[in-house]
Chain A
Amino acid sequence: MTQTPEPTPFTQAGDTRTSAKISRDTISAVSVAVLCVLLLLSARLVSPALGSWTQVETVLVLGFFLVVLSYGQGLVILSGGLDLSLPATITLGGILATSWVGANDPNAWYLLPVVLMICGLVGLMSGIGVVWLKVPPFIMTMAMSIIVASALLGYTNGTPRGAAPTAAVALMKTELLGLPTPVIVLVAFVAMGWLFQSRSIYGRYLYAIGTNLDAARIAGVPVTMMQILPYVISAMCAGFVGIALVGYSSGATLRMGDDYLLPSIAAVVIGGSSILGGRGTNLGTVGGAILLTTLGTIISALGMEFGLRTVIEGSIVLFALLLLREELFQKLRNLWR
């Protein structure tokens, strides 16, 4: 009777949960990275040229777009929303970079931040619609997407003109410190993103909002501002991807963003985030994006029918998702105990 141990297990359980929460996110980020390396190494079976440093560089350059994009998508998902306007916003960034900046003065690098701001405005409108007008994020961002895409069709008459701004070309096509510039920029981008999401008060606010909006409001989180902000950042990331794509392929098209919507959501989910918000790390998302790009590179080297290749690609994504699920880590942790 005197030895009722009730309080002790309670604190212990609490401690375990805190440590479990941190390690869970770390584990999922690490596992995605390990999976990438394994994939690259096993790729040697497909073709001896694969798995080389050249291929890693190719993957990082091709993955640049998805990493940047899924960071923005990740923030929106973390705060409990979803951004479907990414393809149109990418195209907006790309078209403004060529038809406005590139057509007038390709050297006007100082106009590129203005392009990002205009893209940010699209995000601001989505955010306002979601938070103040209470339109569901799915509908609001889809509507913005349609409006922006149609406006661009009208603006360009179907043929985007102009050349890529020199700054955008330099971003994608030069080398810095012996590495391709996009790889260096990518590392800097991920570091900044990590600081914002995991080490700043604003990042913490987003976790709070995504976990429980009412609790966050009561706790004094500026919920209105913090719910709009992810949409703005996401739209600016998409605009940045648009500019980068223009630098990469030296021109814009009206469908340049179409291939990126679903991969951006998939990268976030594979990276261990909850699609319902409140959980996940940006390092996991980066891993998810790199994993998807690596997979695409290897799959396209397989000499198979296109249909079969796509089936394999889909199966591996599904497998990765199942493998990285929380339950599995819980079981593993139990084994270690």
Chain B
Amino acid sequence: MNINRMKTSVATAALAAASLTWAAQAQAQDGEKFKIYLSLSYSGNAWQSEAANIVKALAATPPYDTQVELIENISGTDPQAQIAAYESMIDDGADAIISFPISSTALNRTIRRGCDEGVLFFMYDGTVTEDCAYNVSFLSAGFGENTAQALVNELGGKGKIFLSRGVPGNSVDQRHTDGAMSVFSKYPGIEIVAEYYSFWDDRTTQQETAKALAAHPQVDGVWAQAGEYGVIQALLDAGRPLVPMTGENSAGFRRALADPEMQAKGLRGVSSGSGPAQSGYAFKLAMEILTGQRELEPQNIEYPLPWVPAAEVKICEGDSYTDGCNVFPESKVPSSFVSEVLNPVLLPEINVESALNGTPVPGATIQPLPADVVVTANNEPGINCDPCEAAPDLYKLTKVEATVQP
């Protein structure tokens, strides 16, 4: 553990040094820029890298390139480190902090202090319960219950299933699983034969699924969080037929859903879940507020739940999601690439190279967000507000209807 932490902190220091020199150059050109900090958790998985890359690409796209001084900071997986980072950013006179929060509660006091000094806080994907921060997240959009219902529909209301969960003790994993259980528990025909933690990682998912398959000769469906591509690989490794399953947005999973060979083996399902595009959306909202184009009080803002059933998967020929395509081919991105990183409505100015390298698209300019884009999110106690009342229809289905009755 300590070694990992040290590793991360050294990497952080190196990156921080690099971004500081870059920042110094930028400032030399123009002293009037908005100072915006990007505070990440750990850079080293595809999701975090893509989220950071698109913000960097947007900040380098005109007219933001002359308006923004963007400084990146990586805090590892330790809330204390992120608190310290926020403190320095506030003291350095940040105009806004765009951040993936490591904890939903530990950062509150520091955020409060920043708000009092006029700093805008924009959280993406993860949320904080401090109400002076803007939370931009899909968490309230019901990933768990919608995917669970889709799986139940595919299975006709009965069958043995695996749950491939995220990180134990994590509030996001808990919210997804609670949502899913609100559906599964209604169907006595659905039997959860194995439940394991896959840490949102393809390789861990594959190994944990392989172990579960060794213990359970029959499985009819899999409900998975991120890492879902590992489920397919484990089934193929074991020489089992594929089964209906739900998962998040990896390119490997989406391509498999569209692959006739995989379909013939029994794969069906839906790709949904967390997308790195949330960071770009949060950044653009923050910029529109800073430049006076939009008035918005701090609130919980919902990122629409990505929802791509097998029938709607379409492989892109170009570098962006045009004509309704929603996944890149193997020649462009690895299977771990998180597909929900571009968004034709919210982020039309970037492409796949931006997500991979943080480079702007030549000739592109920032397009304003649609005027009525902001959707207020439901209250989720302990996740995006505290103390607060949960909405009575917290686990209401929004993407699917129950086609089978219990």
Contacts and interface: CB of A to CB of B under 8 A. Distances in A.
Interface of A: 46-47, 49-50, 52, 54-55, 58-59, 61-62, 84, 88, 98, 142, 145-146, 149-150, 153-154, 157-163, 173, 245, 248-251, 253-256, 258-259, 261, 296-298, 300-301, 303, 306-307
Contacts of A307: 168
B335 A250 contact: yes
Nearest to A46: B215
A62 B4 contact: no
Interface stretch (B43-51, B289-297, B382-390): B43-51
Contact of A157 (B206, B215, B330, B358): B358
B265 interface: no
Interface residues of B, number: 50
Contact of B194 (A98, A249, A253, A301): A301
Nearest to A173: B237
A98 B336 CA distance: 13
The SS class assigned to the B binding surface is helix
B404 interface: no
Contact of A306 (B4, B197, B211, B252): B197
A145 B208 contact: no
B76 interface: no
Contact of B10 (A146, A297, A301): A146
Contact of A160 (B211, B212, B334): B334
A214 B45 CA distance: 46
A248 B208 contact: no
Given A55-B214, A58-B213, A163-B334, A249 B44 contact: no
Nearest to A152: B44
B154 interface: no
A242 to B, nearest CB: 12
Nearest to B44: A254
Contacts of B333: 161
A243 B184 CA distance: 39
A153 B72 CA distance: 15
B105 interface: no
Contacts of A61: 210, 237
Contact of B334 (A49, A59, A98): A98
Indicate the member of A54, A162, A307 with the most B CB atoms within 10 Å: A54
B336 A253 contact: yes
Contacts of B207: 62
Nearest to B210: A58
Given A49-B215, A55-B215, A58-B213, A248 B206 contact: yes
Given A52-B214, A61-B210, A300-B196, 11 more contacts: A58-B210, A62-B210, A98-B334, A153-B43, A157-B356, A161-B356, A249-B202, A250-B335, A253-B336, A254-B45, A255-B201
